[in-house]
Each structure stands twice: as structure tokens, then as C-alpha cells.
Amino acid sequence: MRVFFLAVAALVVVAGAASVSVEDLEFNSWKLQHGRSYESEEEESQRKMVWLSNRKLVLEHNVLADQGLKSYRLGMNLFADMNNQELQAWFSNCLLPFNRTKTSTAATFLQQAEGAALPDAVDWRAMGYVTKVKNQGNCGSCWAFSATGALEAQMFRKTRKLEALSEQQLVDCSDLSGNQGCAGGRLQSAFEYVRSSGGLQSEASYSYEAKDGMCRFNPLNVSAICRGYKTLPSGDEYVLQKAVASIGPISASIDMSRHTFTFYSSGVYDEQYCSRSNLNHAVLIVGYGTDIHGEDYWIVKNSWGAGWGESGYIRMSRNKRNQCGIASYAVYPLV
């Protein structure tokens, strides 16, 4: 009789194990990896359905990548339980419309760059110009992260000291320059604020909070200055390449509205449906190169944490008719 009950118990265990699908195991593993928990079983069920839908998109894309039909792969990252509407709401308020009447073109740079030989590849990370990858969180402050990245690089060029600068100061204090904190901003307005205010504090002295707050700028703690900014000619990737090669990391605006960008994992991001004019995200171009398959790319630092993409970076297609608008609005600060 005891043997019988043991056999029944074993069958129950096997049946229970069989009822746990691969998808269940993957979802639970993903929740643990990203620290996800839900307030109710109903919410978890809904999130799991969204996760499964995104998983299908990722798997289908990666099958094409395995066949050599796609130059990049997707992954189930921290956004995998969010639908497209939620993702657009999360990021769509990041950039305000450009004010092209106030741009300052880089005429002097263009004259100096004419005829200059360009290196085949550049990576300013290897030369100490780039701070670690940061995370903007649930705040439309990509413009602030792009601006600080460009300022950090130019201050390093000037002082040979690399110091992370304060995005939170830009979020809290630059409203009079035309920015709206977590509700969005402009790269040019960020640089204008730093120039007019007298400087920008370090991240250590004015830490990031991913929310709007009262301005607490202390002029005695300034770590970076800005004399102004220059805007590159719109849509010209060759001029952008010259700028990246000779000046350093460049702030740029792109279209990131495709789900392929959100779930990008590795490779050269080649998205033919990207817009060159509807730009909604700010990033930092820290270099360029060409992969073993002959695909030209830009090395782009994002502000979604090191767990996204290639350790926080994405290689975006270069010389593909200004794909995703990467050269449509590129700007760098003067220090």
C-alpha cells in the first residue's frame, strides 16, 4: 500500500511539473532578473500576455537574424512586459520641438574640416571621454543625459579630468531656458541654460532622482561650463562623421518609436521604417566604425541603463540615408 501511495505522489509531481511550460519558466526567470512583482494575479496575468506577445516578436525577428536576413538581434529586456502604447507614453515626451531659429551653425568647424582625412573608425570610450552608462528611468529627460554626455567629453578634452555631470540640475533648473524637466526638453536649451547660469554641477554633488524637483543649484559647486553650442547641417552624415572624428562625442536626436529599437540587443540596427524627421529621443554619438560584414555604424550611448542593448549602447546604421534621423539634429557644446 505504501508503495502505491508513493507511486501516486510521484505521478502528481510529474503531472505538476509537466503543467509548467517553457514560457512559464522563462517569464518567472525574467521577473526575477528584472525585479518585477505585481499587485494582483489579474495584473500578472495581463502582464504575462503582453510579455508573451513581445516574446513572439523577438523570437520571430531573431529567426530572421539567424538566417542572415537581419543585421541585429532583439532581446527580452526590462521593457518586455509593456505594450507599445505604454512604451510610447513612457518615452514620447522626451523631446520638445526644435527651435531652429535659435540654432548656431558650425561654419568655422566645417571650413577647418574640409579636406581632412577621416579615420576608418573612432571610439571615444577607449580614449577616456565617456562616463559610464546612466539610466533616465521613468522621466522624459533623455535630452539632459545627451547634453551632459557631450559636456562631459568636452570638459575632459579641456581638463583631462572625466567627471559625471548632473542631469538633475538640468531637469530642475532649466525651465526658463525652455525645458520642461521630465516632460521633455531641447538639447540647445540645455546648453543655453548651462551658459547663462554659470555652470553645471557634478552628479556627485547634485544626484539624479528621475523626477521634477526644486532647483538647488549652488554656483560654488560648478564642475563644467559652456560658452554656447554649434549645430551641424541637418541630414549630412558625412559632416557628422567629421565632427565625431575631430571634436568628440556629439549629441543627436533620433526616432526610437519602432519596437525593434526598444528591444534591441546586439548587432547593427538597420530599421528601414525609421523616420528621419519625427524625432523623439536624444542620445550621444561616441564613435563610428564598420563591422565584419561591411555594415557602417554609429556607436551610440543610450540612457536606459547598462542592461539594455550592448551594455547600454546601440550600433546604428551609418550611411543609410540618415536612417532614424541621426544626422537631422546634431549639436555639440563649446567649453
Which member of 94, 139, 142, 173 is catalytic? Answer: 142
- Catalytic: 302? yes
Helices (H), the chain: 2-18, 22-34, 41-66, 84-91, 107-113, 142-159, 167-173, 187-197, 237-246, 259-262
How far apart are alpha carbons 162 and 5 in whole angstroms? 69
Phi, psi dihedrals of residue 233, rounded to the nearest 5°: -55, 135
What three-state secondary structure class fits 67?
Answer: coil
- Catalytic: 99? no
Number of helices and strands in the chain (H, E): 10, 11
Which residue in the block uniquely carries the three cell numbers 522563462?
26
- Catalytic: 142? yes
Which residue in the block uniquely carries the three cell numbers 579636406?
115
Q: What's the longest Cα–Cα distance across the chain?
A: 94
Which member of 173, 302, 322, 324 is catalytic? Answer: 302
Q: How many CA atoms lie within 13 A of 144 on its CB side?
A: 39
Handedness of CA 215, 148, 187, 133 (dihedral sign): negative
Which member of 54, 139, 280, 281 is catalytic? Answer: 281
Catalytic residues, by residue number, are 142, 281, 302
